Amino acid sequence: MSRIIVTGSAGFLGSHLCERLVAEGHSVLGMDNLSTGAPINLRPLQREPKFSLQLQDVSRGLWVEGPVEAILHLASPASPMDFDAMQVQILAAGADGTRHALELARQKGARFLLASTSEIYGDPLVHPQREDYRGNVDPTSLRGVYDEAKRFAESAAMVWRRVHGVDARIVRIFNTYGPRMRLDDGRVIPNFLRAALNGEALVVHGDGTQTRSFCYVDDLIEGMVRALFAPSLECPVNLGNPDEVSIRQLAEEVISLVGAPLGVRTAPLPEGDPAVRRPDIRRAQDLLGWAPKVSRREGLLLTLQAIRAARADPVA
């Protein structure tokens, strides 16, 4: 493909995706309003002629000249810290932003890939989560804002597919981690790693028996690229690592990895915090030949190294 748009290109996943697409020889136009993304994430692409960044808020509209072969729509505040502070922007990115991105795909005849989320399953009553599970979301809750915005985005993708014939595809991304996550974004892995490196106690919400399944970023990007370039993809596909762990166990793993005698303290469980989460990835395996390869130990080590390197040389 000659020209690909990535919305949310200055974010954690967006920047990794842009790098990967450029490395494969594509021209990439990144879009971001830098509300949660950061230009430093795009530093490796700074002198890359095949990459450019357009400062644009997708929820206000998308204006692009010339041909576009594909649009990958990632733009949205996505960390639990943003759920309170950025409720309006989350709703706007999921609803207006997705509509604008789909409309651009229709005008340009471009393929469309929506970065959806395991949050659409809410606090799941079916475990592990298969794509045909419809979820358990409270639309009036604080957490429900992000969930419903993404659920609307999925609906919109299907409407543009059925009504306008856009080749719209959906991936549901489960918890992902790796280099370039904001250390202050409130997610559990950056929180634990930051605390461990600072010699502080790790804060576990609730009793720590809640589970998640963490996917290393390189594996996730591989899945997204496969979903984009597959000859066809007509249904949502889960992307995530099915290796499930309790949050307390994760804390112990981080402590042993860092090798410091750190404690664990507890804090209240946030409202609506899902009790369990694990993707069923059989569909991704069947349709895309994809499965994650990086173990949690390996991925945590790589992330830790990247944080240490960034601290040693903040502008590298």
Contacting residues toward ligand UDP, per CB under 6 A: 80, 175, 186-188, 191, 203-205, 210, 212, 247, 269-270, 273
Whichever of 230 and 264 has its CB closer to ligand UDP, that residue is 264
Whichever of 3 and 205 has its CB closer to ligand UDP, that residue is 205
> Of the residues 121, 146, 177, 216, which is catalytic?
146
Least distance to ligand UDP from the beta carbon of 314, Å? 23
- For the chain, strand residue ranges (E) read 3-7, 27-32, 51-55, 70-73, 111-117, 168-173, 176-177, 202-205, 211-213, 215-216, 237-239, 244-246, 264-267
Residue type for position 258: V
Query: Where does 268-295 have alpha helices with state H?
Result: 282-288
Nearest-CA neighbor of 120 among 111, 130, 107, 105? 130
Rounded Cα distance, 76 and 120, in Å: 14
Where does residue 63 rank: exposed (0-12), middle (13-18), buried (19+ CB within 10 A)?
exposed
| β pairing state of 70-73 and 111-117 | parallel
146 is known as an active-site residue: yes
**CB of 69 closer than 8 Å to CB of 4:** yes
Rounded Cα distance, 71 and 114, in Å: 8
Give me the long-range contacts of 291-295 (CB less than 8 A, separation at least 24): 292/215, 292/216, 292/219, 292/220, 292/223, 292/240, 292/241, 292/243, 293/219, 294/216, 294/218, 294/219, 295/243
Whichever of 142 and 203 has its CB closer to ligand UDP, that residue is 203
Per-residue tokens: 139:
């639309």
Residue type for position 147: D
Least distance to ligand UDP from the beta carbon of 247, Å? 5
Whichever of 89 and 176 has its CB closer to ligand UDP, that residue is 176
Whichever of 105 and 188 has its CB closer to ligand UDP, that residue is 188
Print burial letters for 149-170: b (CB count within 10 Å at least 16), e (below 16). Answer: bbbbbbebbbebbeeeebbbbb
Q: How many residues does the chain have?
A: 316
Sole residue written with tokens 């357009």: 54
Whichever of 126 and 159 has its CB closer to ligand UDP, that residue is 126
Whichever of 27 and 213 has its CB closer to ligand UDP, that residue is 213
**Catalytic machinery residues:** 146
